[in-house]
Amino acid sequence: MPEAARLLRGADVLADPLVRELLGRRLVAVLATIGPDGVPHVTPLWFAEDGDAIVMATGSGSRKVENLRRDPRATLVLHDSKAGFQVCGVSIEGRVEVRAAAAAAELVERVHARYVDSDAAEVVEFLASDDLALRLVPERGWTWDQRGTPAAQAGGGLPLD
């Protein structure tokens, strides 16, 4: 039987073993913000930890920043899903603080350092557009993990692209 989704609150979100596992992996997170018309705006982002928060790097002209300045509520999904029932993840809700200038620089660098290992001019120029840090403090989260279930062990899932 699959593990039921678990509800976590506050500091328990980042302390959860599955969440710790996912935060420690170099995955691409998916951030959902709320557009002016109430429709979710969903984008993939790199991330890193920052104490009691998860930080992401982005550019000041992005739609997600405009959305967050109007309404700081957001949801971040981290998952490591494979074919069939080899799926696990967490959906984290919270409020995002947008940090700029000096308050953002170290956080943006922390995010980039997790994903980029290059001094190439083209890479440095591309990353320079990330001039803001988004700092999400979890309020609650839901986890799921079906990797240990009989269905996952049986296999049979078609490969993902």
Q: Which phi and psi angles does 124 have, rounded to 5°?
A: -60, -45
Query: Minimal CA–CA distance to 19: which of 93, 89, 96?
Result: 89
Is 91 part of any domain? yes
pLDDT at 149: 84
Is 105 part of any domain? yes
Instruction: Indicate the pLDDT class of residue 3, thresholds 50, 70 and 90.
Output: low
Domain of 89, in residue numbers: 6-153
Instruction: Indicate the pLDDT class of residue 4, thresholds 50, 70 and 90.
Output: low
Is 94 part of any domain? yes
Instruction: Quick: pLDDT tens for 100-151.
Output: 999 999 999 999 999 997 777 788 778 888 999 999 999 999 999 988 888 8
Instruction: Indicate the pLDDT class of residue 21, thresholds 50, 70 and 90.
Output: very high
**Domains identified in the chain, total number:** 1
Is 1 part of any domain? no
Is 160 part of any domain? no
Query: In angstroms, rounded to a whole number, what is the distance separating the alpha carbons of residues 136 and 76?
Result: 8
Instruction: Indicate the pLDDT class of residue 2, thresholds 50, 70 and 90.
Output: very low
Give the E-state strand segments of the chain in sequence order: 6-9, 29-34, 40-45, 48-50, 53-58, 73-79, 88-100, 132-145
Instruction: Quick: pLDDT tens for 24-55.
Output: 999 999 999 999 999 999 999 999 999 999 99
Is 159 part of any domain? no
pLDDT at 33: 98
CATH of the domain at 68: 2.30.110.10
Is 64 part of any domain? yes
Residues sharing a CB contact under 8 Å with residue 150, sequence separation 6 or more, in sequence order: none
Query: In angstroms, rounded to a whole number, what is the distance separating the alpha carbons of residues 141 and 18?
Result: 11
Is 158 part of any domain? no
